[in-house]
């Protein structure tokens, strides 16, 4: 699968990466829904598409991620961008961020990204969300970058066809390993955060795994494996931040 361009500093064996899922980990709900809603506002899709996105959002918030339903929503979200200039979709993503994503961010998880940055780590979003949306979220939160589902573009216009695969399940682990290799990071020292059992491959790829706001299957698996389970409350956040401060390797930047 083609990898996004990495604009980080020259690779160093001192690099530590922290990977964060987006939907129901960094924010409440499914980001694909907000893409669909904004597309409806702009007249790109109709009421039927909006209703479909709304149904998937309801299910996601109420009962957690369902692979079949979320794949349908994501594929539709990617399809609706076909024929539109990349610049237009980036502007759409900026509006989504301000109007829909900011009010739904989990402050506890956002604070954890800042804790990792303070330790000198690179913080990357790894998500099935379209790349152009994920990049806006990462940039606005001051993170290192984002790995998202990519759509093919020709002469600056998105075709609506995938460039590679939907970044889901084992695909997340693959791109995380590739990025760690390119940046010279030891995966045993890296971290990953997710709410979904679909991300067990990603969590298993690193040495420090945290189940955030976890679904039942991931909770059971994390308990069995002895992984940290983080409830999204003040006590859980306090413990998680203590663990990062206490156990995470501090990376010194050149010149420091």
* 100 belongs to the catalytic site: no
Report yes or no: 113 and 19 within 8 Å, Cβ to Cβ. no
Which of these is catalytic: 21, 49, 195, 215?
21
Q: Which of 23, 49, 199, 215 is catalytic?
A: 23
Q: How far apart are the first and last CA of the chain?
A: 36
Told to judge if 23 belongs to the known catalytic residues of this protein, a careful annotator would answer yes
Q: Which residues pair with 130 in a beta bridge?
A: 149
Helix and strand counts by DSSP (H, E) for the chain: 10, 8
- Report the DSSP beta bridge partners of residue 105: 27
| Contact partners, residue 3, CB within 8 Å, separation at least 6 | 147, 175, 178, 179, 182
The pair of three-digit structure tokens given for residue 104, joined into one six-digit string? 């739904």
Query: Can you tell me the distance from the alpha carbon of 65 to that of 56, in angstroms, rounded to the nearest whole number?
Result: 9
The phi, psi pair for 138, rounded to 5°, reads: -60, -45
Q: Which residues are catalytic?
A: 21, 23
């Amino acid at each position: 699968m083609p990898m996004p361009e990495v604009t980080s500093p020259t690779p160093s064996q001192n690099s530590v990466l922290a990977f964060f899922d987006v939907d129901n980990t960094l924010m409440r709900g499914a980001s694909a829904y907000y893409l669909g809603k904004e597309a409806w506002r702009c007249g790109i899709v109709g009421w039927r598409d909006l209703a479909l996105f709304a149904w998937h959002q309801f299910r996601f918030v109420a009962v957690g991620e369902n692979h079949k339903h979320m794949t349908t929503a994501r594929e539709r979200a990617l399809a609706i961008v076909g024929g539109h200039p990349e610049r237009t979709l980036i502007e759409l993503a900026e509006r989504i961020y301000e109007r829909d994503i900011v009010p739904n961010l989990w402050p506890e998880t956002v604070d954890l990204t800042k804790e990792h940055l303070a330790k000198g780590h690179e913080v990357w979003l790894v998500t099935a969300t379209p790349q152009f949306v994920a990049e806006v979220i990462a940039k606005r939160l001051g993170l290192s970058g984002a790995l998202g589902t990519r759509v093919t573009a020709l002469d600056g216009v998105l075709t609506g066809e995938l460039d590679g695969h939907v970044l889901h399940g084992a695909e997340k682990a693959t791109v995380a390993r590739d990025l760690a290799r390119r940046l010279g990071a030891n995966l045993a020292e890296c971290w990953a955060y997710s709410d979904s059992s679909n991300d067990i491959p990603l969590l298993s790829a690193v040495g420090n795994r945290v189940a955030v706001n976890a679904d039942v299957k991931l909770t059971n698996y994390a308990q069995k494996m002895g992984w940290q389970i983080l409830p999204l409350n003040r006590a859980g956040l306090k413990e998680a931040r203590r663990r990062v401060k206490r156990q995470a390797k501090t990376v010194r930047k050149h010149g420091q």
